Each structure stands twice: as C-alpha cells, then as structure tokens.
C-alpha cells in the first residue's frame, strides 16, 4: 500500500511485522504474560543503555531479591547501586530506587497504569512511561527507542539512518504509524522494536529476511547510503566513565566504608580519579565520610 506520493504507508507494515513477531520474537522473562508491571519497569530501566545479554542475569537477581517495589523501597539506595553491578550508567539504579519509593508513597506499592502517573515517577521519561504503559498494560502509545526510530526512518522515510539524536519529528512519525486499536498498537510497539533489534540493525540490516522488504521505502529507493554527519561509536577505555566504574566496583565489593587510599589503587591517573570520585559524590552514588573514607549511599 502506497500513499499519494508513492511512499509506503504504515498500515501496510502492521500485519507483516506482527506476523513476523509472533514467529520470531525472543523469549524474554519480562515479556512473559505473568511478568507484571514491576518486572517490565525494572527491565526498561536496565535495557535503556545495556544489551539484553548483560541485563538478563542482573534482572533475574534483582527481581529475586526485590519482587515488588516495596521490597526495594525499604532498602538503602546503596544496595540498589551494589546490585546494579556492571550494567553501567549506575544513576539508573538510584532513579529506580527513588521510583520504587514513590510507587509505595503515591500508589500503594503498585506500579500505576496511568501514563501521566508513570511520567511523574523519578527517572521515568517519555520513552519509559510509554514502554511500561504499552508493554505492561497493553495501552496505545508510541514507544520510540533507537531501534524503532531506525525501522521507521528506513521503512517510511527512506533514509539509511535516523538523525543522531531523537527529534519531535521521530515522535510524530511513530504516533502516525500506530495502529488504531489499543491491543494491536501495543503489539506493534514491541514488534517494531524487536524488528529493529534483530533484523533492521544499525550497521547491516538483513533486508533479505525482513517481512516488509517489499514495502520498505529505503529498499524501494535503492538503499541509498547514509549521507548525514559522522556517527561516532562510544569509547570506554581510559574515560572518566571507566574510572567511575573502577571506583564503584571497589565500593560494591566492600561491606562498609573504604579508605581513600584503597580507592586510589584502582585507577592510576590521580587527576582523573579524583574527578571521577567527585562526580560520583555529586551524583549521590557515593557518600563521603570522615577521615577520608567513602561508602555507597545509605
């Protein structure tokens, strides 16, 4: 199905993508019918900047220890930081802890199903609120992550890559692509995301295996190469992020306060190490104590 300008329409993509998803979706614990909204929420916090393979063990351990928001809410935030292990971007652990406390205080311990109430929780932005409302409660929302942006950019607008940063136009395109009825929209949200994760990948899309190859605007245009600004991969070695990770690893492994000289042994560059430690303190991930000692937040 093409629109008046000859471009493929979103409606033409729904049925083939949904059929493909039914046959090819990965079996993931947060997608199980009985997973519950808290499990979906935990998975969404963890998956934002971390691949599924690294998330799975941390997710299982997290829900084993804190099966409900209240179980996490009564713990010190440092325990959330400790359990975050090496998932990276550990401020997410603090935000998830704060969200659990807000869920207990405002919603009696149950993750709310209302989109505005979700959006009002600490650490829950537009994407996460839409993802929880859609994946956990079957509502109709545009759930726009990197994978969805890429699929829609290629299939509907015919470009090789979406813009480097998300834009309001991405959101509008995703809203316009939603199926009209709520249950189908919720399935489309997860199915289009899975297609981006497994088939329409960033570097080498597997168009030969794609259920919408005959309708994809980018393929129909002859698969023109990317001609936008250079896209740089993130480096980690030698960065302040790596230094922060080393310092946090020492603190996670300790049961109590750690002397500064123990932290000093974890990173050779004193200037970078002190900058990283100051940053961790400023972010609330590390608590300074007297006599030059540090610990995870209590």
* Cα distance between the two ends of the chain: 58
Instruction: Pick the stretch among 20-28, 111-119, 135-143, 148-156 that binds ligand SF4 (CB under 6 A).
Output: 148-156
CB 154 within 8 A of CB 201: no
Name which of 84 and 218 has its Cβ closer to ligand SF4.
Answer: 218
DSSP string, 75-137: S-HHHHHHHTTTSS-THHHHHHHHHHHHHHHHHTTS----HHHHHTSTT--HHHHHHHHHHTT
Instruction: Pick the stretch among 49-57, 79-87, 126-134, 210-218 that binds ligand SF4 (CB under 6 A).
Output: 210-218
Binding mask 101-130 for ligand SF4 (x = CB under 6 A): ------------------------------
Q: What are the CA-CA distances from residue 191 to residues 12, 53, 158 (Å)?
A: 14, 19, 20
Instruction: Compute the distance between CA of residue 288 and CA of residue 136 in angstroms, rounded to an integer.
Output: 39
* Cβ 233 to ligand SF4 shortest distance, Å: 20
17 binds ligand SF4 (CB under 6 A): no
212 binds ligand SF4 (CB under 6 A): yes
- Structural tokens at position 219: 């393929």
Q: Is the dihedral of CA 95, 194, 163, 9 positive or negative?
A: negative
Site for ligand SF4 in 215-254 (CB under 6 A): 216, 218-219
Q: Which of 32, 44, 64, 182 is the catalytic position?
A: 44
Instruction: Pick the stretch among 39-47, 76-84, 208-216, 261-269 that binds ligand SF4 (CB under 6 A).
Output: 208-216
Exactly one of 140, 141, 154, 187 binds ligand SF4 (CB under 6 A); which one?
154
Instruction: Compute the distance between CA of residue 130 and CA of residue 136 in angstroms, rounded to an integer.
Output: 10
* Cβ 227 to ligand SF4 shortest distance, Å: 16
Name which of 155 and 178 has its Cβ closer to ligand SF4.
Answer: 155
Name which of 97 and 149 has its Cβ closer to ligand SF4.
Answer: 149
DSSP string, 32-67: STTS-HHHHHHHHHHHTSS-HHHHHHHHHHHHHH-S
Name which of 100 and 212 has its Cβ closer to ligand SF4.
Answer: 212
**Helix H or strand E segment including 26:** none
Per rule CB under 6 A, count of chain residues that contact ligand SF4: 14
8 bridge partner residues? 2
Instruction: Compute the distance between CA of residue 202 and CA of residue 91 in angstroms, rounded to an integer.
Output: 27
Q: Is 60 assigned a catalytic role?
A: no
Binding mask 178-207 for ligand SF4 (x = CB under 6 A): ---------------------xx----xxx
* Cβ 230 to ligand SF4 shortest distance, Å: 21
Name which of 199 and 286 has its Cβ closer to ligand SF4.
Answer: 199
Exactly one of 81, 153, 210, 258 binds ligand SF4 (CB under 6 A); which one?
210
**Helix H or strand E segment including 288:** strand 287-289
213 binds ligand SF4 (CB under 6 A): yes
Element counts in the chain: helices (H) and strands (E): 15, 3
Contacts with ligand SF4, residue ranges (CB under 6 A): 151, 154-155, 199-200, 205-207, 210, 212-213, 216, 218-219
Active site residues: 44
């Amino acid at each position: 199905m093409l629109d008046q300008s000859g471009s493929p329409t979103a409606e033409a993509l729904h049925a083939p993508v949904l059929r493909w998803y039914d046959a090819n979706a990965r079996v993931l614990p947060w997608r199980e019918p009985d997973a519950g909204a808290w499990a979906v929420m935990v998975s969404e916090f963890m998956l934002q900047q971390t691949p599924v393979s690294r998330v799975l063990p941390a997710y299982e351990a997290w829900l084993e220890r804190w099966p409900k928001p209240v179980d996490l809410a009564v713990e010190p935030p440092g325990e959330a930081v400790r359990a975050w292990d090496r998932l990276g971007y550990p401020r997410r652990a603090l935000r998830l802890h704060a969200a659990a406390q807000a869920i207990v205080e405002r919603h009696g311990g149950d993750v709310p199903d209302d989109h505005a109430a979700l959006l009002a929780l600490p650490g829950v932005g537009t994407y996460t609120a839409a993802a929880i409302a859609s994946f956990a409660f079957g509502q109709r929302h545009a759930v726009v992550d990197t994978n969805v942006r890429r699929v829609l950019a290629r299939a509907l607008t015919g470009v090789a890559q979406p813009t480097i940063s998300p834009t309001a136009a991405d959101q509008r395109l995703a809203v316009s692509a939603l199926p009209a009825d709520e249950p189908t929209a919720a399935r489309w949200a997860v199915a289009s995301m899975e297609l981006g994760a497994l088939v329409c990948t960033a570097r080498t899309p597997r168009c030969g295996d794609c259920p919408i190859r005959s309708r994809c605007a980018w393929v129909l245009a002859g698969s023109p190469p990317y001609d936008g600004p250079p896209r740089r991969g993130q480096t980690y070695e030698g960065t302040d992020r790596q230094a922060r990770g080393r310092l946090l690893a020492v603190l996670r492994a300790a049961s109590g306060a750690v002397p500064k000289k123990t932290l000093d042994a974890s990173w050779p560059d004193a200037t970078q190490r002190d900058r990283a430690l100051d940053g961790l303190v400023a972010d609330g991930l590390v608590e300074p104590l007297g006599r030059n000692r540090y610990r995870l937040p209590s």
